[in-house]
A and B are shown apart, each in its own frame.
Chain A
Amino acid sequence: MSRVTGSPFIRAAVLPVTLLVVWQLTVMLHTPSPRTPLPTHVVEEAWKLIGSGDLPLALLQSFWRVLAGFAWAAAFGLIFGALMGTYRAIDRSLDPLIESFRSIAPIALLPLAILWFGTGTPAAAFIVGYAAFFPMIVNTIHGVKSVDPQLIRAARTLGVGRFTILRTVVLPGALPYIFVGARLALGVAWTSIIAAELAVGAKAGGGSTGGIGQMMFVFYAYSVDLNGIIVCMISVGLVALVIDRGLRRLENWMLPWKR
């Protein structure tokens, strides 16, 4: 008995399983309606959506948009973060701009995004990139600023030029913070893709642009299927977990000296 409760996997599973059973029983004791999702129905629905390929395709579509948005956020975040972390003058002039934009929720940019880019991938990627940019740049600045100045001095005494120092000392030194930024950025990117696609879906009226957020919108506005929405929510959570674990793997592989 103590061996079973001692296993971390089982201990972690106890609470969710209990909640699922309570949920199932509570709903079954009342009259089930389309508005009350049921664990067994959710599993059925998930099976159906996976089998038909709809769910994997929608997830893939969203994931691709997240990557596209994250890519430009990471590029701009790294470049401007490195500049702001290195040059005080650039930091002083850009910091107020960044701090004031940072408090504008990505979703508030949706009307602009839709008007500029339409309702497809570019609009969604724009929103995602906007959201991911801030954790990326803020952590890059912090990382660059926290590089041990003694290491830069050491590199200078070895006769190494400014730009090479940026590449071989400052960037590797900032990398642990950049990874924190990337993990946070991918997190908010994945969060905001749902919001973006929900709203884009609303405008397009459930067209063919796809994505997991739009799938949720269709379940909500057309088929009124709460089980489907729950399936989407769970798969969004699982994908986020996989992304984060993947990044941590990458981090451990790229930073073997960071123990």
Chain B
Amino acid sequence: METLTPAPQPKLSLRDVGKEFVLPRTGERTVALESVDLDVAPGEFLCIVGPSGCGKTTILNMIAGLTQPTSGAITIDGKAIDGPGAERGVVFQDYALFPWKTVRENIEFGPRYRIGSTMTRQERGERVRQLIDLVALNGAENKYPYELSGGMRQRCAFARALANEPDVLLMDEPFAALDAQTRVILQEELLRIWGEEDAEAGRRTVVFITHGIDEAVFLADRIVVMSSHPGRITEIKSVELPRPRKPEIRASAAFQELVEEIWQLIRHEAYAATIRA
């Protein structure tokens, strides 16, 4: 069917994507993902929630280009993804900071070493300074990761991913290892840095994986709810809460209703997964 007003091209597009793992020892096949169809619009903040083992991290790794789908196609701006690239920044759950590099050197890593980078030393220094301001790591520039708190490491990893100025930011449960207070603060910081208060055109596309339903509702434009065995999309929910989102929004009825609705969608599987494990 043809549409008269063509929708803008999605930033990311997953078409009938599947992933099978073969255990090397037994040769046993596991279907991690089955026929996933998903479009992510430019500047959209998309959260993926679901029980453990539903393949959310696999989706993220495939978009990052770290693993290939066994079936289907993934494109960015219409072009097939065939490996990692600087236009897709990743923030890992365990931060994956280089322990032998200081905060400054970690953030500088992409602009300094990536293929085809033309930035001069001065430009890099300037960029790193801006990012350190942005994530409020002033005073910690010359510290090593082992000297930082969990929240600071997380902010450093975030700044490192931003240093390449990626179009797409992929975040794999970035706040999972933090305490509840730090998490809430960093969620608000993340929205600020993402550009919630600015025009929509300036925002990056974000794919954010989380276990926390309230986290997803607070952050996202849309929430992908997944289920496991095999991993697939159960439902996609739009979050109609106004932006910029203030902390008080968490107490609103609309917020609570959406959290409850999503919880009902994954409750059964979450119980099953937890009690079996």
Residues of A in contact with B (beta carbons under 8 Å apart)? 148, 150-151, 153-161, 164, 168-169, 172-173, 175, 255-259
The answer on a CB contact under 8 Å between B113 and A157 is no
Given A158-B160, A159-B114, A160-B115; A153-B146 close (CB under 8 Å) = no
Q: Point out the residues of chain B lying under 8 angstroms from A154, CB to CB.
A: 90, 92, 96, 98
Bound Cα distance from A142 to B254, whole angstroms: 55
Top-9 shortest CB links A-B: A159-B86, A159-B114, A158-B110, A154-B96, A157-B90, A156-B84, A257-B144, A150-B96, A157-B84
Q: With an 8 A cutoff between CB atoms, is B224 at the interface?
A: no
Taken residue by residue from 33 to 60, chain B's Cβ proximity to chain A (1 for < 8 Å, 0 otherwise) reads as 0000000000000000000000000000
Across-interface contacts of A153 in B (CB, < 8 A): 66, 84, 92, 96
Cβ–Cβ contact B144 & A157, under 8 A: no
Does residue B109 face the partner (Cβ distance < 8 Å to A)?
A: yes
Q: In the complex, which residue of chain B has the Cβ closest to the Cβ of A168?
A: B113
Q: How far is the CB of B144 from chain A (nearest CB, A)?
A: 4
Q: Contacts A158-B164, A159-B115, A259-B146; is A172 near B109 (CB within 8 Å)?
A: no
Q: In B71-129, which residues have CB < 8 Å from any A CB?
A: 83-86, 88-90, 92, 94, 96, 98-101, 109-110, 113-117
Q: List 9 A-B contacts (CB under 8 A).
A: A153-B66, A153-B84, A154-B90, A154-B98, A157-B65, A157-B161, A158-B113, A160-B115, A169-B98
**How far apart are the CA atoms of A258 and B144 in the complex, in Å?**
10
| Residue contact A156 to B100, C-beta cutoff 8 Å | no
Chain A's nearest CB lies how many Å from the CB of B124? 13
Query: Closest Cβ of chain A: how far from B106's Cβ, in Å?
Result: 10
Output the nearest chain B residue to A161 by Cβ-Cβ distance.
B115
Cβ-defined partner of A172 (8 Å) among B86, B98, B113, B160:
B98
Contact B114 A156 (CB under 8 A): no
Q: Are A257 and B85 in contact (CB under 8 A)?
A: no
Please name all residues of chain A whose beta carbon is closer than 8 Å to the beta carbon of B117 when the two chains form the complex. Answer: 159
B89 and A157 contact, CB distance less than 8 A: yes
The reply on B220 being an interface residue by CB < 8 A is no
Across the interface, name the chain A residue whose C-beta is closest to B89: A157
For residues 138 through 163 of chain B, which have their beta carbon under 8 Å from a beta carbon of chain A?
144-146, 160-161
B64 located at the interface, meaning its Cβ lies under 8 Å from any Cβ of chain A in the complex:
yes
B115 to chain A, nearest CB (A): 5
Give Cα A259–Cα B170 distance, bound, in whole angstroms: 31
Q: Which residue of A lies closest to B94 (CB)?
A: A150
How many angstroms between the C-alpha atoms of A254 and B238 in the bound complex?
52
The residue that B100 contacts in the complex, of A155, A160, A255, with Cβ under 8 A, is A255
The complex places the Cα of A153 from the Cα of B157 at a distance, in Å, of 13
Most buried by B among A151, A154, A173: A154
Chain A residues with CB under 8 A of B164: 158-159
- Complex-state Cα separation, A151 to B144, whole angstroms: 15
**A155→B164 CA distance, assembly (Å):** 12
CB-CB under 8 A from B94, the residues of chain A are 150
- How close is B174's CB to chain A, nearest CB, in angstroms? 13
Chain B residues, Cβ within 8 Å of A256: 144
Q: In the assembled complex, how far is the CB of residue B163 from the closest CB belonging to chain A, in whole angstroms?
A: 8
CB neighbours of A148 from chain B (8 A)? 96
Are A151 and B86 within 8 A (Cβ)?
no
How far is B231's CA from A135's CA once the two chains are assembled, in angstroms?
47
Bound-state CA distance A148–B99 (Å) is 11
Q: Are B109 and A158 in contact (CB under 8 A)?
A: yes
Q: Which residues of B contact A255 (CB under 8 A)?
A: 100
Residue numbers in A under 8 Å from B85 (CB-CB) = 159
Bound: A154/B95 CA distance, A: 9
B-chain residues with CB within 8 Å of residue A257 when the two chains form the complex: 99-101, 144-146
Tell me the complex Cα distance, A56–B85, Å: 58
B146→A160 contact, CB < 8 A: no
Which residues of A sit under 8 angstroms from B161, Cβ to Cβ?
A: 157-158
Question: In whole angstroms, what is the CA distance A153 to B90 when docked?
Answer: 10
When distances are taken between beta carbons in the complex, the residues of chain A under 8 Å from B86 are: 158-159
**Which residues does chain A contribute within 8 Å of B113, judged by CB atoms?**
155, 158, 160, 164, 168
Q: Which residues of B contact A159 (CB under 8 A)?
A: 84-86, 110, 114-117, 164
Question: B96 contacts which chain A residues (CB < 8 A)?
Answer: 148, 150-151, 153-154
